[in-house]
C-alpha cells in the first residue's frame, strides 16, 4: 500500500495566510513563508499554496511569494490560483513549484488539463474541485466557491482523469472549516471511481478525522489548514497517532 500523505495548505489573500469557514469569514493565520518553513521542518509530506482570490480578482498568482516559499522548503510544492494558460504553468514551475493546481480555469476551459498533461506531464497537473452537496447532489463551484456551475462532482472528476489530471484535490464546501470531519462518503466514491490519487480537503478538526478519511474515505492524502496554522494539531504528533492506528504514512 502507498503511504498516505499529510498536506498543510496555505490559503493566500493579499500575501497573507488566511482561513475561513465554508469559504467565508476569513481571518489571518500567519506569514506564509514562516508557516511553510515550519511545516517542512515538522515533517509534512507536501505543501499546497492556493492564491484564493486570484481567479476572482482576475490576476496572476504571486510569483515572488511562490519563489520565496520554494526556497525555504524541502518537500513537494503545489501552487494554484489564477492559472489560465501554459505560460502561467511554466512561470510557476520556474519559480519552484513542483505541481500546479487548476480549478476555475479547468471548468471554463477543460482542454487546459490536456495541454498541461501533454506539455509538462500528468504528474504536474492537480485538478482541484470545490463542490457543495445540495438536494440534487454534489455540484462544483467556480471562483473560490462563489459561482455554481453545471458540473457534477463525480462526472467532472472522471473527465479530469481522462483528460490527463494526475491527482484530484476535492474540497467539500459543506465541511470546510467546520472541523467535524471530512466528506468521507463522497471521497470513498471518488476513490472507487478513479485510478488516480484523491486528496481530501475540508473538515479536519481532530486526529480521528485523519484516521477516518484514510480508512472510511479511502483518500490517498489529507489536506488541512486551520488545525495546523493555529496549533491544534502538530504534524509529528498526528503521524505518530496514525502509525498507532496502523495507517501507513511517511516518516
Instruction: Return the active site residues.
Output: 11, 130
* C-alpha grid cell, residue 144: 473560490
Q: Alpha carbon of 215 to those of 2, 65, 76: distances in Å?
A: 13, 36, 24
Q: Alpha carbon of 152 to those of 134, 138, 237: distances in Å?
A: 11, 6, 37
Number of H helices, E strands in the chain: 11, 12
Cβ atoms of 138 and 186 within 8 Å: the answer is yes
For 8, which DSSP code? E
Alpha-carbon span 180 to 176, nearest angstrom:
9
Three-class SS of residue 114? Answer: helix
Amino acid at each position: 500500500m502507498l503511504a498516505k500523505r499529510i498536506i498543510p495548505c496555505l490559503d493566500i489573500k493579499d500575501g497573507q495566510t488566511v482561513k475561513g469557514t465554508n469559504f467565508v469569514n476569513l481571518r489571518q493565520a500567519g506569514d506564509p513563508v514562516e508557516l511553510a518553513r515550519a511545516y517542512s521542518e515538522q515533517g509534512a509530506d507536501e505543501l499546497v499554496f492556493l492564491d484564493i482570490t486570484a481567479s476572482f480578482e482576475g490576476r496572476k498568482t504571486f510569483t515572488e511569494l511562490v519563489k520565496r516559499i520554494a526556497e525555504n522548503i524541502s518537500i513537494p510544492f503545489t501552487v494554484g490560483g489564477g492559472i489560465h494558460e501554459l505560460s502561467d504553468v511554466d512561470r510557476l514551475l520556474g519559480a519552484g513549484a513542483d505541481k500546479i493546481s487548476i480549478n476555475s480555469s479547468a471548468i471554463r476551459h477543460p482542454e487546459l488539463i490536456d495541454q498541461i498533461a501533454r506539455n509538462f506531464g500528468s504528474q504536474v497537473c492537480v485538478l482541484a474541485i470545490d463542490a457543495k452537496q445540495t438536494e440534487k447532489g454534489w455540484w462544483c463551484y467556480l471562483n473560490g466557491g462563489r459561482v455554481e456551475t453545471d458540473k457534477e462532482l463525480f462526472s467532472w472528476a472522471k473527465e479530469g482523469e481522462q483528460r490527463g489530471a494526475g491527482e484530484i484535490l476535492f474540497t467539500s464546501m459543506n465541511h470546510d472549516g467546520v472541523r467535524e470531519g471530512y466528506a468521507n462518503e463522497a471521497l470513498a466514491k471518488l476513490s472507487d471511481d478513479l485510478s488516480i490519487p484523491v486528496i481530501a480537503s475540508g473538515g479536519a478538526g481532530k486526529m480521528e478525522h485523519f484516521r477516518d478519511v484514510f480508512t472510511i474515505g479511502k483518500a490517498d492524502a489529507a489536506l488541512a489548514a486551520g488545525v495546523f496554522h493555529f496549533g491544534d494539531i502538530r504534524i509529528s504528533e498526528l503521524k505518530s497517532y496514525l502509525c498507532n492506528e496502523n495507517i501507513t504514512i511517511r516518516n
